[in-house]
A and B are shown apart, each in its own frame.
Chain A
């Protein structure tokens, strides 16, 4: 190998003398791939305060230290479909509807929602259930006897035919 080296050197030297040096042009050549350093934009740590007061940090290119959001997943109806607070469609920013209702009552409302005190409602329901139970108990004995009498000697009635749509 050693005898081949001077020969090669002389050839490269001659070619180098002929070619102009182009070191500053950064063009990709076949025998050497430039290893580019990856570009990483600078990031700040930002605190995001959601509308309900919860916060979390994230890395972002925005230089503001705190981002307060007014509208996010916590107060948007799409993410809270069961929330009655967000579902109320009526806008009463000036309070005129409230004033009208205070004066004339709610009898004019199209979808008349009955406001019932939850405790009173519960008590009423309990009362109703008690009454129903007592009635059922009273009726049970009579029913049993009547059933026995009426069903005696008869075949069981066939079940009613279901209407088939198809």
Chain B
């Protein structure tokens, strides 16, 4: 690349240099970088300065350097260990923008400050999903299309305006018939998009948190104990006059986002140990869900106290302050029907009218 370019520029510059320039060679006070190359008179020295060999060819180091180069002997002769900064990369503490020369490594790098190691175990729920649930769902949702089958063409989801009025010009497309919500498109379930648990959100709204902060502290610790995840606290967005909650002033809720290993262990103990012990519990309501594959249900304080982590040192928590919580199971399913199929295969009971 470099070799070919240099020769090309040389061939181009040669006739230009030899041709008489249009500008007269007079004493000129102004000197610009742009007119330097063309106006300068050619000299043989300039051309000689060009290297004939390419920079791509490697040069062999001199023999004495090769002989003295012995890094192993050099490190052995060292009396003390090198300082840690010489052999261990330390990520910068601050990210100072994309143009800063000292960039932190990506979070997947073990030397990054944001690195989270793991997973360290293969959870039981994951094994169940791999061995039985995935193949079951795949066979349950299989739709056979004979060869040559073409699905009927559907109308576009966003309708265009009929040009009955001149005001329809340049309008954005109309929403779907019967409501403005554009639902998620459901792809046919295939071997590579079998529904799966994606993440779990545990959210706890403590209305007594305005009285004293101990309520939100207890709720946060309880949620952290059952989920193994540090919680985040949130301020109220809505005003509730009855409880004296003003938006933006009172910290009233805490939330833990579980994913990966934490999520699977939490789901396992929720289904196997906690749910069967809840008194007079009928299951999750069949109409629950946000119609895009995420199912939410609530646990009251008595149910939260049934978790083995809280049970093991129940005395640590003030009994009145154990929070209830809302648990959202986010799945990769695009519809609630598929999500419910997945969750019921993994052991969650549903009751009542089931919305599809």
Show the binding face of A for B, using Cβ within 8 Å: 31-41, 43, 45-46, 48, 50, 56-64, 67, 69, 71-73, 75-76, 78-79
Contacts and interface: CB of A to CB of B under 8 A. Distances in A.
B117 to A, nearest CB: 9
Nearest to B349: A78
Contacts of B141: none
A50 B80 CA distance: 57
Given A36-B113, A39-B230, A43-B228, A71 B308 contact: no
Contacts of A58: 121, 123-124, 265, 268-269
B228 A59 contact: yes
Which 4 interchain pairs have the tightest Cβ spacing? A32-B94, A76-B276, A39-B230, A62-B309
Contacts of A40: 116, 230
A60 B94 contact: no
B14 interface: no
A37 B113 contact: yes
10 contacts: A31-B96, A35-B92, A35-B94, A58-B121, A58-B124, A60-B269, A61-B225, A69-B273, A73-B347, A75-B276
B261 interface: yes
Given A32-B95, A34-B93, 15 more contacts: A31-B96, A32-B96, A33-B94, A35-B94, A38-B116, A48-B272, A58-B265, A59-B261, A62-B225, A62-B308, A69-B272, A73-B275, A75-B276, A76-B276, A79-B276
Contacts of B281: 78
B224 interface: yes
Q: Classify chain B's interface size.
A: 35 or more
Interface of B: 91-97, 104, 112-114, 116, 120-121, 123-124, 224-226, 228-230, 261-262, 265, 268-269, 271-273, 275-277, 281, 283, 308-309, 312, 347, 349
Given A35-B94, A58-B124, A60-B308, A48 B228 contact: no
B261 to A, nearest CB: 7
Given A32-B96, A78-B283, A60 B228 contact: yes
Which of B94, B104, B123 has its CB near the most chain A CB atoms (within 10 A)? Answer: B94
Nearest to A81: B349
A48 B311 CA distance: 14
Contacts of B96: 31-33
Nearest to B276: A76
Given A59-B120, A62-B308, A35 B261 contact: no
